[in-house]
Chains A and B, each alone.
Chain A
C-alpha cells in the first residue's frame, strides 16, 4: 500500500486536514485565529517546527528500532519537539522581534500542539519512508496554516456583524469551525 507523494500531500492538506478532520492542534486554532496578522505567521512557524520534528523523529526512530527501545519513542519525540520549538523561538527573537512579541505565549505552546506530535506519531505508525515523511509533515503544516487563515478571515468579518450576546466567544468559534469542517468534508476521497 504505497501511496504516492502527491496523494499523501493532498490527503494531509485537504481530505484529512489536521485541524478540521482529525482534531489535532485545536488549542492554537481557537486561540490565535482572532486576527489574520498573527494567524499566518503562527501557521508558518508551526509548519517549520513540524518539518524539523518530523526529520529528527525519522532519524531517531531508526536508532530506537535498531536498539529495540520502542517504548522510549514517546518520551524522545517530546524532547525533540521541545528542542525544535526552542530553536524557532531563538530564530524569531533574533530576526523578527515584533512577530516574536505578537505570538507571545503561543510560541512555547507549540510544544504542546498535538498536531506536531501527531505528525511524528502518524509517520511512525504508517511506516512512511524518508520522502513520504517529509511530504506528510509539510502537507500537514500547510493544512494547519490553511485552516488557521480561513478561520481568522471569517472571524475578522464577524467582528463587524451583529451576533447574539449569548453566543459570543468560544461557542461561536466552535460553530464556525463546525461549518468549516463541514465544507472540508467535501474533499473526502480526493487523495484516492
Chain B
C-alpha cells in the first residue's frame, strides 16, 4: 500500500471507527434516538444524513477560499439547509410512508451538529477530495451507529428485524424499548459496552493501542 492510499483509508476509517460520531463523540443525538425505533428507519435516516454530509462538505470545501471568515457559519448553514430541502422533497417523492415515519426529523438534519462540525473542523481547511472522503467516513459511521441502535430496539421492542418476525407467537414484545426511554437505555448500554471493550483492550496490552494502529 503506498502512502497516499494509506492516508485516504486512514481518513475514511477515522469517521467509521476511531471518531465514530455516535459512540465516541456523542454528537447528533436527537435524530439518533428519535428515529431508531426500527432498523429500516435507522438506515434511511443514516443515508439521508450521509448524502447531506458529503454534498455540503464538498461544496463548503470548494468555496473555502471565497468564504469570508466572519460569515462562514451562516454560509455553511445555508448550504446545508439547501441540501436538506432537496433530500426532504426527494424522500417525499420516493416513499410517503417513510416520510411520515421520519417526520420532522428529516428537516432537522439541518441542525445535526455532526454536519456543521465536519464543515467547520475539516471541510473548511482541506481540498474537496479529502473533505468528501472524511465526510463519507463520518456518514458511514453515523449510519452504523444508528443501525446498531435500531436493530437492538426493533428486536427487543417489536420482535422483528426489517419487518420480519423473528420469534414465535409466545414472544412478549418489550414495548418500552420502542418508546422514548428505550432509546436512552439502549444508547447508554452501547456506551457501557464500548467503555468495557476499551478497558479490556488497555488491560491486555499495556501500551497505547489506538494511535499506532493504522500508521
Contact = CB atoms under 8 A, between A and B. Distances in A.
- SS class, residues of chain A in contact with chain B: helix
Contacts of B176: 182
B107 interface: yes
Contacts of B183: 23, 178
B165 interface: no
B47 interface: no
Contacts of B29: 23, 26-27, 30
Given A71-B89, A112-B113, A118 B108 contact: yes
A25 interface: yes
B74 interface: yes
Interface string B43-81: 000000000000000000000000000000110011001
A81 B191 CA distance: 32
A182 B184 CA distance: 10
Pick from B27, B31, B112, B188 the residue with the most CB of A within 10 Å: B188
B30 A179 contact: no
Given A78-B81, A112-B116, A178-B184, A171 B192 contact: yes
A170 interface: yes
Contact of A71 (B31, B85, B182, B196): B85
Contacts of B73: 82
Pick from A78, A118, A167, A178 the residue with the most CB of B within 10 Å: A178
B7 interface: no
A87 interface: no
Interface string A163-192: 000110011101101110110010000000
Contacts of A113: 111
Interface string B194-207: 01100100000000
Given A21-B180, A71-B85, A78 B110 contact: yes
Contact of A75 (B82, B104, B180, B185): B82
Given A79-B77, A177-B184, A178-B188, 10 more contacts: A23-B31, A26-B30, A114-B30, A114-B108, A114-B111, A121-B108, A170-B26, A178-B183, A182-B181, A185-B180
Interface of B: 26-27, 29-31, 33-34, 73-74, 77-78, 81-82, 84-85, 88-89, 104, 107-108, 110-113, 116, 176, 179-185, 187-188, 191-192, 195-196, 199
